[in-house]
């Protein structure tokens, strides 16, 4: 049954990668990248069970954390063109309390 899960995850990855290639905006690609990260965690988990080595889960956890930071870095870069941008420098401070 782990074959079923692994196959389904690979199929879902295929769809999401098509979306990442088609775009059309950068946010579609960032969203697809985020979903690829989630699917990669699940793929690592189910493949770990498939091969009887659940230690892959540790890699999955690390991957999830890096995926979150990576998504934020991409979004911040495309919003401000600068990874070190500090929102408190803004005059109007949008959405900032």
Contact residues toward another protein (CB under 8 A) are 1-2, 4-5, 7-9, 11-16, 18-19, 25, 27-28, 30-32, 34-35, 38-39, 41-42, 45-46, 49, 54, 57-58, 60-61, 64-65, 68, 71-72, 75, 78-79, 94-95, 97
CB 37 within 8 A of CB 64: yes
Closest to another protein by CB, 27 or 51: 27
CB of 87 to another protein, least distance (A): 11
Nearest-CA neighbor of 59 among 39, 31, 40, 32? 40
CB 75 within 8 A of CB 33: no
């Amino acid at each position: 049954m782990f074959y079923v899960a692994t196959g389904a995850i690979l199929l879902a990855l295929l769809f999401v990668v098509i979306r990442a290639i088609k775009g059309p905006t950068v946010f579609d690609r960032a969203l697809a990248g985020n979903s690829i990260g989630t699917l990669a965690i699940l793929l690592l988990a189910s493949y770990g069970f498939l091969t009887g080595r659940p230690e892959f889960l540790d890699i999955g956890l690390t991957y999830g954390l890096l995926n979150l930071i990576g998504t934020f870095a991409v979004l911040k870069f495309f919003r401000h063109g600068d990874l070190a941008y500090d929102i408190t420098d803004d005059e109007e401070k949008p959405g900032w309390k």
